[in-house]
Amino acid sequence: MKPKQLLTLLTILTTFIGYAQNTITVDNNLGVVEVPNLIYANLQDAIDAAVNGDTLYIQPSATSYGDAILNKQLSFIGRSHSENNKISYVDNIEIYPNASGSIFSGLYFTDKIYFTDENTVNNLIFKNNYINWIDFDFTTGGINNFILTGNVVNILGAPSSITSPIQNGVITNNIFLDDIYIFYPETVTIKNNIFFCYTSQILITNESGNNTELVIENSIILKLNANSGDVSANDNIQFTNCLTYSPNGDIFNVLAGSGNLSNINPQFVNVTDNVFDAYNDDYHLQAGSPAIGAGTDGEDIGLYNSSGYLFNMLGITYGLPSVNITNITQTVQEGEPLQVTIQASSN
């Protein structure tokens, strides 16, 4: 992808965040009182009440907000995808072309994000989410301008029986736990991700059906389980300045491509033998790591590179406002004022 394309896509994020017209709170916790156009317990009701450009704050809850259909441009902001007792769960969300320009951040999608309309959806941003599956079911439509950054993703795309048409996509600084399928590799940037081989091989597939190469840059592929498989990559996939490693001493096959570091410890600050441990894993590189400066253009290999993007293991949305009561009068006489000290901040 040309640098100009990448800059244009990243500019979308700034443009859309500043576009919100109104804010609506979605909260299904016990005791919450609904207020039309302000507070809803049901996610679909909130979507139906919103207008293009609105922001929906999805409050943490032990109960999922279920399924929803999205046919307008909205921003969805959850608290986190992995912070204890502060997770915003959504099951399925079906996205239609009128939802072009929507943003999703800080959410835990337990099932699918999927697209079934035959028209193109434009300008979608997924950031700081845990996503079970982004499932594409287009035959004539697709996604144009797609940013996937800072997420934990099980599956991206689907096999060739269901095309996976992403055009002008930026897929960076994510953790992938399972397979990915890419249909238009010539317009997709995939770099600075971590791919896990955990219980089986990880499948990385170029679905283009032509001779266009899919290039994966500056990424780390880990085999954390002694019974894991290897990387299964079909033809026309090139790994550039990537690193493979297994803490168990298993040996990866040599990756196709150039500048790769095979079977070398990246020297993370800390990594457990779990597939993803939000509280105990730390994928920053220690001083002296062979991955430092070993990427393309002298960048670091792995989640954290010169872009300055800060991968958040808990999936907390940066800049989310919060209010804390720091002091309150314990008792007051009838008719006397109650004194409360409130501190506002953003994470």
pLDDT at 118: 74
Distance between CA atoms of residues 29 and 39, nearest Å: 12
Residue 237 pLDDT class (50, 70, 90 cuts): confident
Mean pLDDT of the 247-274 span: 87
More confident of the two residues 163 and 297: 297
For residue 273, give Cα distances in angstroms to 29, 223, 227, 295, 346. 34, 9, 12, 25, 33
Report the chain's mean pLDDT, rounded to a whole number.
Answer: 83
More confident of the two residues 120 and 51: 51
pLDDT at 308: 77
Residues 129-138: tens digit of each pLDDT? 999 999 876 6
Does 3 score more than 50 pLDDT?
A: no
Does 162 score more than 80 pLDDT?
A: no
Residue 285 pLDDT class (50, 70, 90 cuts): very high
Mean pLDDT of the 155-176 span: 77
pLDDT at 12: 41
Per cent of the chain over pLDDT 90 is 52
Residue 19 pLDDT class (50, 70, 90 cuts): very low
If you compute the radius of gyration of the chain from its CA atoms, what whole number of angstroms results?
22
pLDDT at 58: 97
Does 70 score more than 80 pLDDT?
A: yes
For residue 312, give Cα distances in angstroms to 78, 80, 149, 189, 285. 14, 9, 11, 21, 15
List residues bridging with 57 in a β-sheet.
25, 77
> Would you state the structure tokens that stand for residue 69, as one six-digit string?
């259909």
With contact defined as beta carbons under 8 Å apart, do 60 and 87 qualify? yes
With contact defined as beta carbons under 8 Å apart, do 197 and 228 qualify? yes
Q: Look at residues 275, 265, 274 and name the one whose alpha carbon lies nearest to residue 302.
A: 265
Distance between CA atoms of residues 49 and 44, nearest Å: 9
Distance between CA atoms of residues 273 and 263, nearest Å: 17
pLDDT at 230: 60
pLDDT at 346: 61
Indicate the range of 53-57, 227-231, 239-243, 294-298 predicted with least confidence: 227-231
With contact defined as beta carbons under 8 Å apart, do 182 and 188 qualify? yes
Most confident of 111-115, 249-253, 283-287: 283-287
Most confident of 40-49, 179-188, 338-347: 40-49
More confident of the two residues 92 and 345: 92
More confident of the two residues 203 and 69: 69
Give me the DSSP letters along 145-179: EEEEES-EEEEES--TTSB--EEEEEEES-EE-S-
Does 218 score more than 60 pLDDT?
A: yes
Distance between CA atoms of residues 191 and 104, nearest Å: 21
Does 4 score more than 60 pLDDT?
A: no
Does 202 score more than 70 pLDDT?
A: no
Residue 347 pLDDT class (50, 70, 90 cuts): low
Does 289 score more than 70 pLDDT?
A: yes
